[in-house]
């Protein structure tokens, strides 16, 4: 049975696999777009940075929280690998500021970003576990 037939068969029987697959379908491009936007904002000249109404640390934490959440939803089977890559990546992306003359990397900034990513990943993990329990007719994440 082809994957799309399985999705339709399970969905017709009242399962939630189709809905979960749709979320994953949009989570992957969203996660990668968020990552690209964060890299652009982090490395671009300070004048190119978007203005916000919150404190800079809140901006950093929320951006990485959303990034962690998106990647956790997009790659539920690989959440441990994603966690390592995003947390290490927060420090690596901050380090890229050494190459931007108007920017200055800071350990504090990278730590805020890593904590935001960790919180987003945790939220995504919780959502994935919850969805897994709510969809008894669906394939477990390990088999997708």
Query: For residue 7, what pLDDT is reported?
Result: 47
Cβ contact 25:80 at 8 Å: no
Please give the Cα distance from 136 to 140 (Å, whole number). Answer: 9
pLDDT in tens, 69-120: 999 999 998 989 999 999 999 999 999 998 888 888 999 999 999 999 999 9
Percent of the chain, pLDDT > 70?
76
Would you say residue 14 has pLDDT above 60?
no
Cβ contact 67:89 at 8 Å: no
H/E stretch holding 40: helix 17-43
Query: For residue 134, what pLDDT is reported?
Result: 74
Model-level pTM greater than 0.85?
no
Please give the Cα distance from 56 to 132 (Å, whole number). Answer: 36
Please give the Cα distance from 143 to 62 (Å, whole number). Answer: 31
Would you say residue 39 has pLDDT above 80?
yes
């Amino acid at each position: 049975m082809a994957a799309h037939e399985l999705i339709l068969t399970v969905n017709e029987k009242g399962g939630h696999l189709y809905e979960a697959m749709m979320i994953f379908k949009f989570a992957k491009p969203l996660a990668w777009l968020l990552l690209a936007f964060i890299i652009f904002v982090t490395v671009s000249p300070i004048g190119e940075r978007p203005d916000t109404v919150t404190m800079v640390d809140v901006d950093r934490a929320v951006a990485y929280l959303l990034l962690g959440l998106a990647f956790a939803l997009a790659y539920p089977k690989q959440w441990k690998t994603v966690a390592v890559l995003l947390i290490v990546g927060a420090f690596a992306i901050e380090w890229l500021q050494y190459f931007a003359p108007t920017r200055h990397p800071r350990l504090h900034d990278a730590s805020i970003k890593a904590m935001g990513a960790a919180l987003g990943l945790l939220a995504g993990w919780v959502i994935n576990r919850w969805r897994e329990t709510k969809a008894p007719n669906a394939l477990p994440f390990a088999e997708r």
